[in-house]
Amino acid sequence: MTNTELREITFHYDPISPYAHLAFECLPLALMGHSVAVRYKPVLFAALLKAHGQLGPAEIPAKRDWTYRQVAWLGHHHGVRLELPAAHPFNPLPLLRLGLACATDDAPGDTSRYVTEQLFHHVWHGGQDAADPARLAELQARLQDHMVQRGKPWSPPDGEVVKQRLRANTDEAMALGLFGVPSVVVDGRVFWGFDALPMLRAHLEGDAWFDGGWDAAAQRPEGVRRR
């Protein structure tokens, strides 16, 4: 497949993840020169963790400290604005639902790039409390105005329609075997994490390694399993 053929890419994210924020900001560079259509799908990261019996990085004290240091450095290194929110982790459900309140009937589980950007910037710009009710109300008003200006309907964020959209997205992610965010899916392959963007680009460019290396790398017997 050449880079002139349109390919669909799905970016699964939860704005609670700093790595998802970094990947979102750097994705255009990774995709430059390729003909792609990107779909942005919010999912509940906590549900993915629970399904796989995992803790989040911020739930392990030593890993929490490292994570915040690393993402702050990655933002600095890549020139991506990233300011840690006043408290983390936080409950991302209001943000996820606000995003999906802006979904349209032709793509009920997707958020536009603009809406996705607004969710990430709410968390990772300014170092403020992402769960602050007043800030969430301001974001809701801004997104609602955006939809009105586009002549698009707005669904109540706390309504059953929006809740079902989020459940469906998360169920779909689980069915794909996703275990974390960000996860980018293209051509039936999953690229997990901010550091997978170079690998994603290599796949899009037709790197020969993917012809055999992709499957071969995963075909290893388990030597031991912890219980």
Taking only the tens place, the pLDDT of each residue in 120-167 is 999 999 999 999 999 999 999 999 999 999 999 999 999 999 999 999
Q: How are beta strands 183-186 and 36-42 bridged, if at all?
A: unpaired
pLDDT band for 3, please (50, 70, 90 cuts): low
Residue 98 clears pLDDT 90, i.e. is over it: yes
Q: Give yes or no for a cis peptide into 182 (omega within 30° of 0).
A: yes
Task: Please report, for the chain, the start and end positions of each structural domain, with discontinuous segments joined by +.
Answer: 7-213
Whether pLDDT at 1 is above 90: no
| Percent of residues, the chain, with pLDDT higher than 90 | 91
Query: Average pLDDT over the chain, rounded to whole?
Result: 95
Q: What is the pLDDT of residues 7-16, one digit of tens each?
A: 999 999 999 9
Contacts of the segment 173-178: beta carbons below 8 A, 24+ positions apart: 173/12, 173/41, 173/43, 173/48, 174/47, 174/48, 174/51, 178/12, 178/43, 178/48
- Percent residues over pLDDT 70 in the chain: 98
Contact (Cβ atoms closer than 8 angstroms) between residue 6 and residue 34: no
Query: What is d(CA 180, CA 44) in angstroms, rounded to the nearest whole number?
Result: 10
- State the fold for domain 7-213: Glutaredoxin (3.40.30)
Cα atoms found within 13 Å of the Cα of residue 105, Cβ hemisphere only: 3
User: 154-187, pLDDT tens digit by residue?
Assistant: 999 999 999 999 999 999 999 999 999 999 999 9
13-17, 35-39, 50-54: segment of lowest average pLDDT: 50-54
Q: Which residue has the higher pLDDT, 55 or 136?
A: 136
